[in-house]
Amino acid sequence: MLELLTLAQSSGADLKIWAYVGFVALVILFLALDLGVFHREAHEVSMKEAITWSVVWLTCGIAFSAFVYQAYEKHWLGLGLDTPKYNPAYVAGDPNSQLIISGEVLGGEAAKQYLVGYVVEKSLAMDNIFVIALIFSFFAVPAKYQHRVLFWGIIGALVMRGAMIFLGAELIMKYQWILIIFGGFLVLTALKMALIKGNEDPSQNIAVKLCRRFFRITDFYDGQKFFTKRTLKPTYSKDPATGKEVMDPAPAGSLSVKWAMTPLFLALILVEITDLVFAVDSIPAIFAITPDPFIVFTSNIFAILGLRALYFCLAALIAKFRFLKPALILILAFVGVKLLLLSVPPYLTVFGMDARAPIKIDTTVSLIVVLATLALATILSVLIPSKAAKH
């Protein structure tokens, strides 16, 4: 019997790769439909369109929790078998046990972990919107080209976050004390956000300075292109047949032999850097919920897939939600403390203190705390608007 169980777990581990392949294929399908069908032509995203897409992405993200439940409950493709999880014996204070073990995870717990990770990541993405709005304002990115920048920004984010998640999962399985560093980093980041105002001038970003030093950069946009050979700013005229505004051909002899970057590409670079910075915060936050890389990966990716639509919904309104940023700081601090309570107590002997049993905050409690914090921040923002919002 034991041999059959071991064989099933081994086969499950081999099949898990297909769960990741299937999920990535689903994401690629979504993105292909988004850019190739619904946003084939550059246009300014209306509030109605942004709200519709936000609802679509939110529905997809939440609905995926039903798949997670079924997949882990029935162990489709080996999900839930031989899965990294926080050890109940370790939490109970067994000094001979490990913090993270591999074992069976059932559908109910997996679905809760996914939803908490999704909500936490969605919450932290709000702060990302502040910075993206600042970048678009600085580069004066036309509204109809902003979707293209955000689309390719999401593609880069998928690659970067996927690599960071699997690297982080490998590290915490081998060196579980790294969770202490993750927790401490989250708490320090929350303190920094609360006490220190960051540099809000994109022109001072080192990536922008390097690009301008080593590459030719135009001071105009060439439609939605990231690179151009034009040396003169494009002119536009109306097409008599369609009545639409179209770009005129470049004057003879005005094209350069070499390619040049447009400001749209600089905006894309900063959007990618912004996501990388926020990923350094948000990925450890989800590891505070679960060490299962599939849950971390899928909840993280589904949360940022809706970031584009969320941006167009909230970019103009987010300044009115004055208590949202403090709420995000509290959420970041909460998950940092949650991780420290779980990882620090057994290592107190390093500081000459008696080792104690770790404290694990239940996943359901975490979900309630995060949702209640966001709800309270929203209500207070409506009841007590800022002076600027009143005018």
Question: At which residue do the structure tokens 């970067």 appear?
Answer: 160
Question: At which residue do the structure tokens 């909500």 appear?
Answer: 119
- Map residue 258 onto helix, strand or coil: strand
State the pLDDT at residue 40. Answer: 67
* DSSP element (H, E) containing 26: helix 2-33
Residue numbers of the chain with a pLDDT score lower than 70: 1-13, 35-40, 95, 127, 196-204, 315-320, 386-391
* Pairwise CA distance, residues 156 & 160, whole Å: 6
Structure tokens at 362: 């239940």
Number of C-beta neighbours around residue 139 at 10 A? 21
Whether the CB-CB separation of 169 and 295 falls below 8 Å is answered with: no
State the pLDDT at residue 43. Answer: 72
Residues contacting 251, CB < 8 A, separation 6+: 232
Residues contacting 180, CB < 8 A, separation 6+: 339, 340, 343, 344, 347
Angle of helix 143-174 relative to helix 293-305, nearest 10 degrees, comes to 170
* Pairwise CA distance, residues 194 & 377, whole Å: 15
Q: How far is CA 359 from CA 90, 115, 198, 203, 296, in A?
A: 10, 21, 34, 45, 21
* DSSP element (H, E) containing 314: helix 307-314
* Pairwise CA distance, residues 230 & 339, whole Å: 53
Q: What are phi and psi of 247, to 5 degrees?
A: -80, 135
Q: Which amino acid is at 377?
A: A
State the pLDDT at residue 21. Answer: 93
Q: What is the CA radius of gyration of the chain?
A: 24
Question: At which residue do the structure tokens 């960071």 appear?
Answer: 164
Q: Give burial (CB, 10 Å; 0-12/13-18/19+) of 33.
A: exposed
* Pairwise CA distance, residues 251 & 231, whole Å: 10
* Pairwise CA distance, residues 188 & 175, whole Å: 21
State the pLDDT at residue 8. Answer: 44
pLDDT in tens, 99-134: 899 999 999 999 999 999 999 888 887 767 777 877
State the pLDDT at residue 370. Answer: 84
Residues contacting 100, CB < 8 A, separation 6+: 84, 85, 86, 87, 172, 173, 176, 291
State the pLDDT at residue 315. Answer: 65
- Map residue 360 onto helix, strand or coil: coil
Structure tokens at 65: 């929790």
Whether the CB-CB separation of 356 and 154 falls below 8 Å is answered with: no
State the pLDDT at residue 387. Answer: 65
State the pLDDT at residue 39. Answer: 64
pLDDT in tens, 212-256: 888 889 989 998 999 999 999 999 898 888 778 888 999 988 999
State the pLDDT at residue 78. Answer: 93
- Map residue 315 onto helix, strand or coil: coil
